[in-house]
A and B are shown apart, each in its own frame.
Chain A
Amino acid sequence: MDNTPTVIGCRHVAKRFGHVEALRDATVTVPPGKVVALVGDNGAGKSTLLKTLLGINRPDSGEVVISDREVHLHDVRDAQALGIDAVHQDLALAPDLSVVDNMFLGHAPSKPGFAGRLGMLDRRRMAEQTDAALQELSIRLPSLSVPIRELSGGQRQAVAVARAVMWSSTAVLMDEPTAALGARQSQIVCDLMRTVASRGLGVLVVSHDLPRILEAADTITVLWRGETALEAPASDLTVPDLVATMVGYRQGAA
C-alpha cells in the first residue's frame, strides 16, 4: 500500500452526494500484473469507487493514482488517454454489430489513401487485429462476423474484456463481470482476468462472486460503508472472513 508500484489506485478518497456519503476513506491499490478484487455489500460504495477511478466522478478529498502519479480526471476520456479502460456491467456492446466491428467501435481505422478519406473501413486490418487480440487472451469464438447477439453471454463478456484490453495499456476495470453468467462461462471469464494480468496490466474487479474471486484474485480489498475495511492477499482469506468484514464485524483488521 505504500511503495508498491501502482498502475491504478486511490488513497483516502471521500465522496458525498447530497446527504449521502458514498465514500468516506477508500483506498485501493492495483499493482501491475496483479488482479485485485473489490468486494463489499450493497451500498458499500464499490460502484462509486470504480467511477472515481474512471474519472466519471471527482473525489471530494483524497487522490487518484495512475501509473504511480497522482492524477485529476475530468471525464472518461482522460482515463482512456492514460491507458485505462473498463468493462461495465451492461458490456456496452452493440448487439447487431459483429465482433470485429464491436472491437473497433470508436477506434475504427480507415483504409489508406483516397478510400480512407471516403471513410471506408479497413475491415481486413480490423479482422486481423481482432483475431490476434482474441488469440492472445486465449478466447476462442466460432465466428467473428456474426452479430454479437448470436453469441452466448460468456462469449460476449469475453469480447468486452478483449476490447478493454485492446485499447488499454495500463489497467482494466471490471464491474461484476460474472453476474449474469453460468458456472462454465464464469470460469472462462476468471481465466481471462488472469491472462490479462499476465500481460502486465493491472486488473481491478468488482464482484459478488466470493468463492470464485478468491481463486482468481491476488489481493482482496473489502469496502464497508465507504471505507476500506480490509486489504489482504487472497490466499490468506476465506469466504467467511470476507462476509464477516463485509457486514462490519472486523473493521480495520489486516
Chain B
Amino acid sequence: MTAGPDTTASAPPEAPVDDRAIASGGLASRLLQSRATWVFAVNIILIVIFTAVSEDGVYFSTANAQSVAISATQALLLALGLAMMLGAGIFDLSLGANLVLSSVVGALVIQEFQDPSTLEYDRVGVAVLLGFLACVITGLVFGLVNGIIIAVADVNSLIATLATLGIGTGLGLLLADGSDVAGLPFQMQESIGFRTVLGVPLPAAAALVLAATFWFVVRYTRFGMHTEAIGSSRASAERAGLRVRGHLVALTSMSGAMAGLAGFIDLARFGSTALGGHNNDALAAVTAVVIGGTLLQGGHISIIGAVWGALLAVILQTGLVIAGVPSFWQLIVVGLVLLVAVVIDRASASRRAN
C-alpha cells in the first residue's frame, strides 16, 4: 500500500516489506469476525426458537416486542455508559445505586407539587419536567463525583465505585425514608412510561437514539478515538498530550446522567421508585457490554454489541416465561445460554488467531 520510490539523494535502498501482519478484509469478513454479529445471531436464533415454542407463536407479536424493548431500556442505558467507561479502562459498580438515588431525588421533587391533604397534583407538567431534570442532574453529579475520585484522586475505579455504591444506596434510603416513594401522578405512566412512538415504547426509543449517538461518537469523533486510546494505553495517551483526567471525568459524568435517566424511567413506569430491584444492575450491564464485544481491559468499544447484549438477557427471560418454563429452570437456562454465547466467541477468536 505504501511502496515508495525514494526521492532524496542520500536515501538508503528501498526497505523490504515486512508483510507478516494480517491485512484487513472487506466488510463482510469484518462483520463475521465481530462479536456483536454473533450476539445478534444468538438473539435471532432465540427469537425463532421461542416463537416456535410459544402457543400460536405469540412470542413474535407487537405486544411482546414492546415488552422486550421497554424491559431492556434501563439495562441498555446503563450499558452504554459502561461501555464507554470500560473502553477507557475504568469500571463502575455504582450504576444501580446511582439509578436508585436519582429516582428518589426526582420523586421527592415531584412530590413537592402534591397537596398533602388532597394528594392531588398541581401543575403536573412542570412537576414532571422538574422531576426529570432532578433525576438526570443527580445522576450526573453522582458520576462527576465518581470521576473526581477516580481521575483526580487516582483511586482504582473498582474500589472507588464500590464505595460510592454504598454511599449512594444509603443516601437514597435516607432520603426515601427507608422505602419506596410512591403516589406520583398517573399522567407520568400515561404520557411517558406507557407511551409509544410509532409502536416503539417511548423510553426504548430514547435509549435507541442515545445508542445511535454513542455509536457515532465512538466511530467518527475525536472523543471516541481518545476514549479508546486511553483504554488502550493510558501512558501513551498522556504522552501524546491528551487530557486524560478531564476525559475520564466526562465519561463518568455521562454515565451518571444515563443512570439518572434510567432512574426517571422507573418513576415513569411505576409511579414510584423501585428501590429493591437494582442491586445487580451494574453486573448485568457489564455482562451485556462484555458479551457484546467491548473488551474488559479497554481499548475497544462495541456499542452495537452492547445493544444486542442488553437485549439477549431480556429475550431469554421473556421467552422462558412465555414458554411456561418453571422459575428455577429459567436461571439454569439463562446461565447456559450465556456460557454458550461466550464459548462460541472464544472458539472463533482462537480460530482467527491461528
Interface residues of A (CB under 8 A from B): 77, 80, 88, 90-97, 101, 105-108, 110, 118-121, 123, 131, 134-136, 138-146, 150-152, 154-155, 184-185, 188, 191-192, 194-195, 198-199
Given contacts A119-B222, A195-B11, contact A106 B241 (CB under 8 A): yes
Q: How far is the CA of A108 from the CA of B221 in the complex (A)?
A: 10
Q: Is the interface of B mostly helix, strand, loop or mixed?
A: loop
User: B228–A96 contact, CB under 8 A?
Assistant: yes
Tell me if B15 counts as interface (CB < 8 A to partner A): yes
Please list 9 pairs of residues, one from A and one from B, whose beta carbons are closer than 8 Å in the complex, sorted by A's number: A105-B229, A106-B242, A135-B3, A139-B2, A145-B24, A146-B22, A146-B24, A152-B20, A184-B18
* Most A C-beta atoms less than 10 A away, residue of B4, B23, B242: B4
On chain B, the residues within 8 Å of A90 by CB distance are: 235-236
B2, B22, B23, B232: the one contacting A94 at CB < 8 Å is B232
A107, A119, A135: the one contacting B221 at CB < 8 Å is A119
A110, A134, A144: the one contacting B222 at CB < 8 Å is A110
Q: How far is the CA of A142 from the CA of B23 in the complex (A)?
A: 6
Q: Chain A's nearest CB lies how many Å from the CB of B31?
A: 15
B7 to chain A: closest residue by CB: A136
Q: Chain B's nearest CB lies how many Å from the CB of A65?
A: 24
Q: How far is the CA of A82 from the CA of B163 in the complex (A)?
A: 45
User: A138–B12 contact, CB under 8 A?
Assistant: yes
On chain B, the residues within 8 Å of A95 by CB distance are: 232-233, 299
Q: How far is the CA of A152 from the CA of B2 in the complex (A)?
A: 16
Tell me if B1 counts as interface (CB < 8 A to partner A): yes
On chain A, the residues within 8 Å of B12 by CB distance are: 138, 191, 194-195
Q: Chain A's nearest CB lies how many Å from the CB of B222?
A: 5
Q: Other than the known A92-B235, A94-B228, A139-B15, what 8 A-B pairs have Cβ atoms closer than 8 Å? A: A92-B233, A94-B236, A96-B298, A105-B242, A108-B225, A143-B22, A146-B21, A195-B12
Q: How far is the CA of A123 from the CA of B8 in the complex (A)?
A: 28
Q: Chain A's nearest CB lies how many Å from the CB of B146?
A: 23
Given contacts A119-B223, A121-B220, A138-B12, contact A77 B241 (CB under 8 A): yes
User: A142–B19 contact, CB under 8 A?
Assistant: yes
User: A135–B232 contact, CB under 8 A?
Assistant: no
Closest 6 CB pairs of A and B: A96-B299, A106-B240, A135-B4, A94-B232, A96-B232, A119-B221
B13, B16, B24, B225: the one contacting A121 at CB < 8 Å is B225
User: B22–A101 contact, CB under 8 A?
Assistant: no
Interface residues of B (CB under 8 A from A): 1-4, 6-24, 217, 220-223, 225, 228-229, 231-233, 235-237, 239-242, 295, 298-300
Q: How far is the CA of A107 from the CA of B241 in the complex (A)?
A: 9
On chain A, the residues within 8 Å of B1 by CB distance are: 131, 140-144
Q: How far is the CA of A140 from the CA of B17 in the complex (A)?
A: 6
User: B232–A185 contact, CB under 8 A?
Assistant: no
A104 to chain B: closest residue by CB: B225
Q: How far is the CA of A119 from the CA of B18 in the complex (A)?
A: 35
Q: How far is the CA of A199 from the CA of B191 in the complex (A)?
A: 67
B223 to chain A: closest residue by CB: A119
Q: Chain B's nearest CB lies how many Å from the CB of A136?
A: 7
Given contacts A121-B220, A155-B18, contact A143 B241 (CB under 8 A): no
On chain B, the residues within 8 Å of A191 by CB distance are: 12-13, 15
On chain A, the residues within 8 Å of B225 by CB distance are: 97, 101, 105, 108, 121
Q: Chain A's nearest CB lies how many Å from the CB of B338?
A: 25
User: A142–B17 contact, CB under 8 A?
Assistant: yes
Q: How far is the CA of A191 from the CA of B231 in the complex (A)?
A: 33
User: A120–B220 contact, CB under 8 A?
Assistant: yes
Q: How far is the CA of A135 from the CA of B217 in the complex (A)?
A: 31
On chain A, the residues within 8 Å of B20 by CB distance are: 152
Given contacts A121-B220, A143-B21, A185-B18, contact A96 B2 (CB under 8 A): no
User: A135–B2 contact, CB under 8 A?
Assistant: yes
User: A97–B21 contact, CB under 8 A?
Assistant: no
User: B299–A94 contact, CB under 8 A?
Assistant: yes
B3, B24, B229, B300: the one contacting A101 at CB < 8 Å is B229
